[in-house]
């Protein structure tokens, strides 16, 4: 059984058998859950199909969050992505942004999502994976398998640092999701386990210290758009790793630093809505608007 | 922890603690009510639940759970409407419950047959819950395991009778957690027994048959 306490241990174990991180995690988890690898794969396949549905649901034009503060961002971005060669980011990336916004918007409107690793950060992994599936023709089986790589990385993050905004700030939610997604993307593009770890390390380093400061305490502002920054970091760090750029600080040390930063972070910046964007004049005004008993 | 704690759960948004956990708290009440017909619920929201319930859909989530829906049921969004269709009256009260966890709900339910009950519990993060009180007595269980609640008179030997019977009649049954509290010496008491196994069908009736036991309820994983 694997302990999921070190990304470097995962890489060493995969390299020793010349297998992908996803295969390593699939075998281990099947054994630990007492089911066959096929049964486990099929469970993950269901999660991928829910992700595809969340993209569709959240991309509807008239979708609104329960508070009424947000809604429709996925639709607007998707329209934009189809015009002018997709704007500055190009059509591929712009559509991925639209999908991340859609899933996060689906969550805010009480739609069905897969927490990955949390509800607040649920748009990052599907934003990347559904895009590779729908726009780039990647095989569904490879994509579902890459979710095991993302999951294995996420378990190490949870064990070594945190995946809860209340414990570690947004770096623990969107940061973790970006690291998990970066590793999955590297594997899908044919990268090595070492490159997965590098992408992961760079993604964590790039979101180090990010506060969790939701306006009115709701999973909307800035959470929905932070799914986009997490997605962009995942893509860029995966590409850097695939290009051969190495992380200067190893992934495990990045996680230890993330834990330390989360521990010293003020509680006002850890999902309490008592600081950051939540207590800006506009943040307070929006809160009053939502909670007035009208 | 397993891989589906990270890539999962599949849930209705927006918040694992304020939505998914709230559904599970409601489901505990659903199990307490069992097959009986629900007439009315008064739901007290405390702390962060009271502040943010509307934006997080906590009210709909609790109501949906009480009606038996799960944390991934799309019906959660329409819980108010469904409750009205079923003729269930509901009110939400914002009140600070002293000393309670920030995400606490107290659900007072009234049944068609005239009986009633109260459950108080908290959503403690990541969709996990902790049930803290039933009918005013302290309990402590997470709903992650099959749990048996045994209401009984506070008399010597009742715990031994229950646990001995469980072992004699069902050798493989293993208790993973046990909690006891009482209203007053010699008054009504409640045992919370969490077990590793699937509960045998006859178990609850067997416990009900033991001297000084007033009632037993099985709360399957919620």
pLDDT digits (tens, 9 = 90+) for A232-241: 999 999 999 9
State the first-to-last Cα distance of chain B, in angstroms, to the nearest integer.
18
Residue A294: is its pLDDT beyond 60? no
* pLDDT score, position A87: 96
Integer angstrom CA distances of residue B153 from B14, B120, B213, B215: 43, 22, 6, 10
Using 50, 70 and 90 to split pLDDT, how confident is the model at A13?
very high
Residue A292: is its pLDDT beyond 90? no
Counts of helices then strands in chain A (DSSP H, E): 14, 1
Using 50, 70 and 90 to split pLDDT, how confident is the model at B102?
confident
Closest Cβ opposite residue B125 in set A46, A158, A164: A164
Q: Which residues of A182-216 are buried (b: 16+ CB within 10 A; e: fewer)?
A: bbbbbbbbebbbbbbbbbbbbbbbbbeebbbbbbb
* pLDDT score, position A135: 97
- Say how far residue B5 (Cα) sits from the centre of its chain: 22
Mean pLDDT of all residues belonging to chain A: 97
Q: Kindly list the residues from chain A whose CB atom is less than 8 angstroms away from the CB atom of residue B15.
A: 119-120, 219
**Chain B residue closest in CA terms to A224:** B14
Q: What is the average pLDDT across A166-171?
A: 94
Q: Where are the domains of chain B?
A: 3-135, 146-219
3-state helix, strand, coil in chain B (%, to 5): 30, 35, 30
Instruction: Supply the DSSP symbol for B98.
Output: T
Q: What is the average pLDDT across A160-170?
A: 94
**Exposed/middle/buried for residue B95 (C-beta within 10 Å: 0-12, 13-18, 19+):** exposed
A30 has a chain B CB within 8 A of its CB:
no
pLDDT in tens, B176-194: 999 999 988 999 999 999 9
B52 has a chain A CB within 8 A of its CB:
yes
Nearest-angstrom CA–CA distance, B45 and B57:
12
B74 has a chain A CB within 8 A of its CB:
yes
Mutate one of A219, A223, A273, A290 to test the B interface: name it (highest B CB count within 10 A): A219
Q: How near does any CA of chain A get to the CA of B21, in Å?
A: 12
CA-nearest of B96, B12, B102 to B61 is: B12
* pLDDT score, position B52: 85
Residue B222: is its pLDDT beyond 90? no
Sequence-ordered strand ranges (E) for chain A: 112-114
Does the beta-carbon distance from B1 to A4 stay under 8 Å?
yes
B8 has a chain A CB within 8 A of its CB:
yes
Does the beta-carbon distance from A218 to B14 stay under 8 Å?
yes
* pLDDT score, position A244: 98
Does the beta-carbon distance from A43 to B4 stay under 8 Å?
yes
A51 has a chain B CB within 8 A of its CB:
no
Does the beta-carbon distance from B7 to A152 stay under 8 Å?
no
Residue A88: is its pLDDT beyond 80? yes
CATH H-level superfamily of B3-135: D-3-phosphoglycerate dehydrogenase; domain 3 (3.30.1330.90)
pLDDT in tens, B129-144: 999 999 989 999 999 9
pLDDT in tens, A110-161: 999 999 999 999 999 999 999 999 999 999 999 999 999 999 999 999 999 9
- Bond into A232 cis (ω within 30): no
Q: Kindly list the residues from chain B whose CB atom is less than 8 angstroms away from the CB atom of residue A217.
A: 48, 51-52, 55-56
How many CB pairs lie under 8 A apart between chains A and B?
130
Does the beta-carbon distance from B55 to A65 stay under 8 Å?
yes
Closest Cβ opposite residue B13 in set A29, A46, A106: A106
Using 50, 70 and 90 to split pLDDT, how confident is the model at A293?
low
Does the beta-carbon distance from A66 to B2 stay under 8 Å?
no
* pLDDT score, position B48: 86
Share of chain B above pLDDT 70, in %: 100
pLDDT in tens, A51-86: 999 999 999 999 999 999 999 999 999 999 999 899
Q: pTM of the predicted model, to two decimals? A: 0.91
Residues 6+ away with beta carbon under 8 Å from A190: none
Q: What is the average pLDDT across A91-116?
A: 97
B16 has a chain A CB within 8 A of its CB:
yes
Residues 6+ away with beta carbon under 8 Å from A230: A100, A121, A123, A124, A174, A175, A177, A178, A181, A207
Does the beta-carbon distance from B13 to A29 stay under 8 Å?
no
Mean pLDDT of all residues belonging to chain B: 94
Task: Select from 3.20.20.80, 3.90.226.10, 3.30.70.260, 1.20.140.10 the CATH code of B146-219.
Answer: 3.30.70.260
Q: Are residues B48 and B104 in contact, defined by beta-carbon separation less than 8 angstroms?
A: no
Using 50, 70 and 90 to split pLDDT, how confident is the model at A248?
very high
Nearest-angstrom CA–CA distance, B76 and B57:
8
Residue A213: is its pLDDT beyond 70? yes
* pLDDT score, position A14: 98
Nearest-angstrom CA–CA distance, A242 and A252:
19
Q: Are residues A189 and A238 in contact, defined by beta-carbon separation less than 8 angstroms?
A: yes
Nearest-angstrom CA–CA distance, B90 and B87:
10
* pLDDT score, position B126: 81
Q: What is the average pLDDT across B105-134?
A: 95
Ranking A262-271, B46-55, B98-107 by mean pLDDT, the lowest is: B46-55
Closest Cβ opposite residue B1 in set A69, A109, A155: A155
Using 50, 70 and 90 to split pLDDT, how confident is the model at B86?
very high
Does the beta-carbon distance from B16 to A125 stay under 8 Å?
no
Q: Kindly list the residues from chain B whose CB atom is less than 8 angstroms away from the CB atom of residue A103.
A: none
């Amino acid at each position: 059984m694997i302990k999921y306490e070190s990304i470097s241990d995962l890489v060493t174990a995969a390299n020793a058998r010349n297998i992908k991180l996803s295969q390593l995690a699939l075998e281990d988890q099947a054994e630990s859950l007492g089911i066959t690898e096929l049964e486990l794969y099929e469970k993950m396949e269901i999660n991928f199909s829910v992700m595809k549905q969340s993209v569709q649901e959240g991309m509807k034009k008239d979708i609104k969050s329960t508070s009424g503060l947000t809604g429709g961002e996925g639709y607007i971005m998707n329209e934009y992505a189809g015009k002018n060669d997709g704007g500055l980011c190009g059509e591929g990336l712009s559509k991925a942004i639209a999908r991340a916004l859609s899933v996060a918007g689906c969550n805010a409107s009480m739609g069905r999502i897969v927490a990955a690793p949390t509800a607040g950060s649920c748009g990052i992994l599907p934003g990347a994976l559904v895009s590779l599936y729908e726009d780039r023709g990647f095989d569904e089986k490879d994509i579902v398998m890459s979710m095991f790589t993302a999951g294995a990385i996420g378990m190490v993050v949870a064990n070594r640092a945190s995946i809860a905004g209340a414990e570690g700030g947004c770096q623990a939610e969107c940061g973790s999701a970006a690291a998990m997604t970066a590793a999955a993307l590297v594997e899908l593009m044919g990268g090595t386990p070492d490159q997965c770890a590098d992408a992961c390390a760079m993604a964590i380093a790039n979101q180090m210290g990010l506060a969790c400061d939701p306006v009115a305490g709701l999973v909307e502002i800035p959470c929905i758009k932070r799914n986009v920054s997490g997605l962009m970091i995942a893509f860029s760090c995966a590409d850097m790793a695939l290009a051969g750029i190495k992380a200067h600080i190893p992934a495990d040390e990045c996680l230890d630093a993330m834990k330390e930063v989360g521990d010293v972070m003020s509680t006002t910046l850890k999902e309490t809505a008592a600081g950051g964007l939540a207590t800006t004049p506009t943040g307070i005004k929006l809160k009053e608007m939502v909670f007035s008993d009208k | 922890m397993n891989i589906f704690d990270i890539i999962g759960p599949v849930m209705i948004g927006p918040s694992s603690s304020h939505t998914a956990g709230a559904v599970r708290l409601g489901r505990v009440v659903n199990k307490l009510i069992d097959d009986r017909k629900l007439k009315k619920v008064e739901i007290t929201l405390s702390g962060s639940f009271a502040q943010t319930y509307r934006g997080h859909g906590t009210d709909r989530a609790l109501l949906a759970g009480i009606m038996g829906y799960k944390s991934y049921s799309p019906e959660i969004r329409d819980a108010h409407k469904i409750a009205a269709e079923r003729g269930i009256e509901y009110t939400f009260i914002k009140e600070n419950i002293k000393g309670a966890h920030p995400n606490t709900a107290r659900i007072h339910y009234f049944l068609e047959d005239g009986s009633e009950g109260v459950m108080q519990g908290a959503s403690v993060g990541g969709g996990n819950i902790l049930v803290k009180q039933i009918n005013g007595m302290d309990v402590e269980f997470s709903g992650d395991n099959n749990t048996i609640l045994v209401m009984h008179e506070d008399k010597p030997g009742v715990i031994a009778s229950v646990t001995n019977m469980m072992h004699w009649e069902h050798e493989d049954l293993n208790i993973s957690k046990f909690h006891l509290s009482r209203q007053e010496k010699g008054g009504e008491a409640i045992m919370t027994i969490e077990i590793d196994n699937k509960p045998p069908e006859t178990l609850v009736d067997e416990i009900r048959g033991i001297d000084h036991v007033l009632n037993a309820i099985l709360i399957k994983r919620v």
